Structure 1
Amino acid sequence: MANTTPAHEDGHQPLTKTVSAASNASHKRAKSFRQETAKEFQAREKHPLAGHFGHLTSDQESAALEFRKELHEKGLYTPASEKGQASHDDTTLLRFLRARKFDVPSAVTQFSDTEKWRQETKIEQLYDTIDINEYEQARSVYPQWTGRRDRRGIPVYLFKVGHLNDKTMNAYAKSTAHKGSTTQVGGSSKTPDRMLRLFALYESMTHFILPLCSVLPREHPETPVDSTNNIVDISGVGLKTFWNLKNHMQDASTLATAHYPETLDRIFIIGAPSFFPTVWGWVKRWFDPVTVSKIFILSANDVLPTLEKYIEKKNIPKKYGGDLDYDFGMLPNLDEDAKQLLSDMQHTTESGWTIGPIRWVGGDGPGARVVAVGSENGRKRSTVLAIPDHLPVNHVINGETGAVPLNFSDTPGTLGADLTAVKKAKAASGKSLETNGERSNGALPETTVNGQMEALAIS
């Protein structure tokens, strides 16, 4: 005989109640997510530099000390000493702490995972040897620096999603399938080659664009620039394109959040199609509330007023109501401060920019150098492009005799950078360099120490 006992009397909830319960749970999670997002947005708008170098609370300073200590004990960090600079600058360490709300054990775990990933991918070596054509191919399908900064001095990137159609992405995928320089360097890595090329661009951000922006005139020069603003144009993008890009974007977001935390300040989404609210419902699930709180979805009428709140009109591309002659695909259009600082840049294109990866070496003192790296025609580059003059050294501590400070690093804007620069300045005269006792016209040693190309060897 068939069992006629109602399902809920047999210890199970009826389907209608199960669906209702699941719906309520989903609603509560969504509400909690929105509340956390709003909370993060309000806190950041009120105190944008909270948790950054030079703006730490006493508790955060204590957490930073504990973080360094634990990393040192685990062999993940080497503090600065008379023998050399710290293995990692303060700005990097603070990014990991902020990402974990200054929870030291959690930050240690994330930092450890990142160090393991960097070793497996050989990301430093990849950046110094990647073929410049492969690098430029990657740059063509990811956000690009406009050459301008926002009102706080943070670099402004532009990304047009519309050109990432099937033809473009298939061609890019095909190019990454060949055994290029990234495959040769990171061949044993579990990270796909297309992702390694993306992270070469992240290395460009951390090794050149952020250090450059850190030494340019701006409010709060004591705090290094460590994040970017992004204008993301999705006008003309169909639902099929969004769906096809889903895995690609999700992988990139996951790895970037894990290994380059807190490098995003804001994202301004422009040109959202009518179906975007539906798409956004599942896109935002890729991110945590902190990241979602940094995303602005702008209507056509809100684009210029909102952008101008954060970016001067002269630094907003003309397409979005500003005065800047820049469109996606162009090389950076540097502002006057950057042009003046890099006025002696050599080996450039007509726009005054060098294609391929670049490193900023030497902090914000007289030893600063702009160096072209990567490979060209199978030969590794290590050429000094520019020797910036008149850098804003704000806090040299008694020349060389000052005590080694807690914040001793080579990052522009930190005390360690100035002390390092004072030492390096001894050997810097004119525009030729002295390396290991020999004069050089620009070629650098082909070695990297602590992730930075050493331009000068000075005792």
Structure 2
Amino acid sequence: MASIELSEKYDNYDYPIEAPEPQEGHSGNLTAEQQAKVHQLRMLLEAEGVTERLDSLTLLRFLRARKFDVELAKQMFLDTEKWRKETKLDEILPTWDYPEKPEISKYYKQFYHKIDNDGRPVYIETLGGIDLTAMYKISTAERMLTNLAVEYERVADPRLPACSRKAGHLLETCCTIMDLKGVTLTKVPQVYSYVKQASVISQNYYPERLGKLFLINAPWGFSTVWSVVKGWLDPVTVKKINILGSSYQSELKKHIPAENIPKEFGGTCECAGGCENSDAGPWHDPQWARPAKWEQKADSAAAPAAAPAPAPAVAEEEVATDAAPAAA
């Protein structure tokens, strides 16, 4: 097993790129065949005209998501690039604003808040209040899903790189808390409708980002449903999912420090202005935070072009003999 071979052209990491423990198919624990498939996938994508996001860690995530089947990983990557262009995500990202978030949060909270014991960003969702009719009067399905995608981009950079710097090793996944309190049978269709749309984005375009998932306040009978559903899922994914009832607090605190858990979920944190609005985490700590690459690119594009250097003085006779205009 070996570390990943870095590409001079695409790999420019300013954070650790190896996990603390060997994980199959991850940087630091690759077979020669897996390493060769990273190179192969990059070459195939370049042949398709792809020039962005070809760094080794990104390619490895797509390969792992498709069990290192290069053709399937290539198709997944191309589908993602097509979706990015259709949604104009790269154009939207640097200037995205979501002023309706406080109103949407009355029905559906989504926020990142500090880190778990492993140093990963903690992501929290509350599903019980979802009312699509009311929410679509505040925003649109398109804007809500765009905001979700923007947050995924911000997870990739700057959140996870900052967490990796603080932890001293590579972190590529998040710890998710999904609160099912209030999800009744009558609400299931609406909750399922939205979650299904959101899941398409996460599964198809942002593979290998789930570290742990805690489903808390799971309603009565959910465990029975889960015993059936988990048979349809990849065993690797099943291991990451924990179903907890209303007495979830003690189990949650085994994985996340109490001071990092909002008080409403059994922790002790009470951020000024509300934990759901703070976005607290290493990504805002000057010791670990760095500008995201998409921010740097946007700043570079916005910078005024340097004034052209004055043309050197030439003799009058030279002008007469070389009157062809300079190339534009």
Answer yes or no: same fold by TM over 0.5.
yes
1:122 to 68, 88, 96: 88
Could you say which residue in structure 2 is the equivalent of 1:313? 258
Q: Which amino acid aligns with 1:151?
A: N
In 2: Cα distance, 1:48 partner to 1:307 partner = 25
Q: What is the CA deviation profile of residues 407-441 of structure 1, one whole-angstrom value per residue up to 9, with x for unaligned ones?
A: xxxxxxxxxxxxxxxxxxxxxxxxxxx97559xxx
Q: What is the CA deviation profile of residues 395-416 of structure 1, one whole-angstrom value per residue up to 9, with x for unaligned ones?
A: xxxxxxxxxxxxxxxxxxxxxx
**Residues 211, 437 of structure 1: CA spacing in aligned structure 2 closer, same or farther, 3 A cutoff?**
farther
Q: Is the 8 A contact 2:24 2:30 kept in 1?
A: yes
Residue 205 of structure 2 is aligned to residue 259 of structure 1? yes
Q: Which amino acid aligns with 2:157?
A: H
**Residues 285, 257 of structure 1: CA spacing in aligned structure 2 closer, same or farther, 3 A cutoff?**
farther
Could you say which residue in structure 1 is the equivalent of 2:71? 105
Q: CA deviation at 1:318?
A: 3.4
**Residues 194, 112 of structure 1: CA spacing in aligned structure 2 closer, same or farther, 3 A cutoff?**
same
Q: Which amino acid aligns with 1:218?
A: A
- Residue pairs, 1:12-31, within 5 angstroms: none
- Residue pairs, 1:213-224, within 5 angstroms: 213-215=163-165, 217-220=166-169, 223=170
In 2: Cα distance, 1:436 partner to 1:245 partner = 49
In 2: Cα distance, 1:234 partner to 1:194 partner = 20
Q: Is the 8 A contact 2:123 2:175 kept in 1?
A: yes
In 1: Cα distance, 2:179 partner to 2:232 partner = 19
Could you say which residue in structure 2 is the equivalent of 1:152? 118
State the percentage of identical aligned residues.
34
**Residues 74, 334 of structure 1: CA spacing in aligned structure 2 closer, same or farther, 3 A cutoff?**
closer
Q: What is the CA deviation profile of residues 187-208 of structure 1, one whole-angstrom value per residue up to 9, with x for unaligned ones?
A: xxxx944423322222222233
Residue 323 of structure 2 is aligned to residue 323 of structure 1? no
Q: Is the 8 A contact 2:22 2:29 kept in 1?
A: no
Could you say which residue in structure 1 is the equivalent of 2:315? none
Q: CA deviation at 1:370?
A: 8.0
In 1: Cα distance, 2:296 partner to 2:264 partner = 31
Could you say which residue in structure 2 is the equivalent of 1:334? 281
Q: Which amino acid aligns with 1:54?
A: G
Could you say which residue in structure 2 is the equivalent of 1:57? 31
Q: Is the 8 A contact 1:149 1:315 kept in 2?
A: yes
Q: Is the 8 A contact 2:163 2:288 kept in 1?
A: no
Q: Which amino acid aligns with 1:144?
A: F
Q: Cα RMSD (Å) of the superposition?
A: 3.6
**Residues 121, 370 of structure 1: CA spacing in aligned structure 2 closer, same or farther, 3 A cutoff?**
closer
Gaps of 5+ in 1: 1-45, 79-85, 178-190, 346-358, 363-368, 374-381, 384-433, 439-459
Q: Which amino acid aligns with 1:162?
A: G
In 2: Cα distance, 1:69 partner to 1:272 partner = 46
Could you say which residue in structure 1 is the equivalent of 2:49? 75
Could you say which residue in structure 1 is the equivalent of 2:4? none
Residue 133 of structure 2 is aligned to residue 170 of structure 1? yes
Q: CA deviation at 1:250?
A: 1.2
Q: Is the 8 A contact 2:262 2:270 kept in 1?
A: yes
In 2: Cα distance, 1:230 partner to 1:278 partner = 22
Gaps of 5+ in 2: 1-19, 308-328
Could you say which residue in structure 2 is the equivalent of 1:268? 214
In 2: Cα distance, 1:435 partner to 1:274 partner = 60
Q: CA deviation at 1:238?
A: 1.7
Could you say which residue in structure 1 is the equivalent of 2:310? none
**Structure 2 SS opposite 1:329:** helix
Q: Which amino acid aligns with 2:178?
A: V
> How high is the TM-score relative to the length of structure 1?
0.53
**Structure 1 SS opposite 2:83:** helix
Q: Is the 8 A contact 1:212 1:360 kept in 2?
A: no
**Residues 49, 318 of structure 1: CA spacing in aligned structure 2 closer, same or farther, 3 A cutoff?**
farther
- Residue pairs, 1:48-447, within 5 angstroms: 49-76=23-50, 78=51, 87-134=53-100, 141=108, 143-146=110-113, 148-164=114-130, 166=131, 169-177=132-140, 192-215=142-165, 217-220=166-169, 223=170, 225-280=171-226, 288-301=234-247, 303-304=249-250, 306-325=251-270, 329-334=276-281, 338-341=284-287, 360-361=292-293
In 1: Cα distance, 2:153 partner to 2:104 partner = 13
Q: Which amino acid aligns with 1:93?
A: L
Q: Which amino acid aligns with 2:136?
A: A
**Residues 436, 287 of structure 1: CA spacing in aligned structure 2 closer, same or farther, 3 A cutoff?**
farther
In 1: Cα distance, 2:65 partner to 2:206 partner = 10
Q: CA deviation at 1:268?
A: 0.6
**Structure 1 SS opposite 2:214:** strand
In 2: Cα distance, 1:236 partner to 1:48 partner = 40
Equivalences, count: 284
Q: CA deviation at 1:101?
A: 1.6
In 2: Cα distance, 1:152 partner to 1:114 partner = 29
Q: Which amino acid aligns with 2:267?
A: G
